[in-house]
Amino acid sequence: MIVVTYIDEAGTHGSAPHMVMGALVGRLGQWSYFDKKWRKMLRRNGIAYFHSKEWKHKQGPFKGWKDDKRAALIERASDIQRDTTLFGLTVKIQQEDYIQNYKSGDRPKKVPLDSMYGLCFRHVVVFVVDTLAKSLNRNDIEVNFVLEDGHKNSGDAVRIFDQMKNDKSGRPVALGTLALA
């Protein structure tokens, strides 16, 4: 069984005191159903895309929208996600916690530290793999990841993914590919 995880991040441009990375996880066949439903939702609402920051601040295609219309859109988006994917998740790391509890202090010199972006990514991968192993009860699962390209720390995610993929610790879920797109 092939599973694909789409990942996006927020709070990476210095605009927030934290970083959030969200992911949606679905079987390969579920994504075409998701896309069909998602496009229909966008079309019905007269918008070309959904960006949560613009939705939250009533900007871009959501400028002038009343709160009840915005709430209805989010409810429909949640229904689509729930009905057409296996699960979704978010990871949030406070910048202050990252600095005080992860980055500072003594550590071996040759061990590379993950960036905040990389640490969020590591948590997403571990959660996805563990959840798939526990919930699907199969031994033929391969999970692929798609991560937005262009972030300054996306190379850290590649390093982490390669490290995890090369760790042959008998994981019941195989790591397939990581695509930056």
pLDDT at 168 over 80: no
Residue of 181, 148, 177 whose CA lies nearest to 3? 177
In sequence order, the 6+-apart residues with CB closer than 8 A to the CB of 161 are 121, 125, 145, 175, 178
pLDDT at 13 over 60: no
**Domains with residue ranges and CATH for the chain:** 2-180 (3.30.420)
Q: What confidence score (pLDDT) does residue 108 get?
A: 78
Tell me what the mean pLDDT of segment 116-143 comes to.
93
pLDDT band (50, 70, 90) for residue 109 = confident
Residue 125 to residue 145: CA distance in whole angstroms? 8
Which of 12-21, 43-52, 103-112, 128-137 shows the lowest mean pLDDT across its residues? 12-21
Q: What is the pLDDT of residues 133-157, one digit of tens each?
A: 999 988 889 999 999 888 888 899 9
In sequence order, the 6+-apart residues with CB closer than 8 A to the CB of 81 are 24, 34, 88
Q: Which residue has the higher pLDDT, 15 or 84?
A: 84
Which of 3-7, 96-100, 171-175, 177-181 shows the lowest mean pLDDT across its residues? 171-175
- 60 neighbors 54 (Cβ within 8 angstroms): yes
State the residue for tokens 């202050």. Answer: 96
Q: What confidence score (pLDDT) does residue 14 get?
A: 58
Tell me what the mean pLDDT of segment 164-173 comes to.
81
Residue 159 to residue 56: CA distance in whole angstroms? 33
Percent of the residues in the chain that have a pLDDT greater than 70, as a whole number: 97
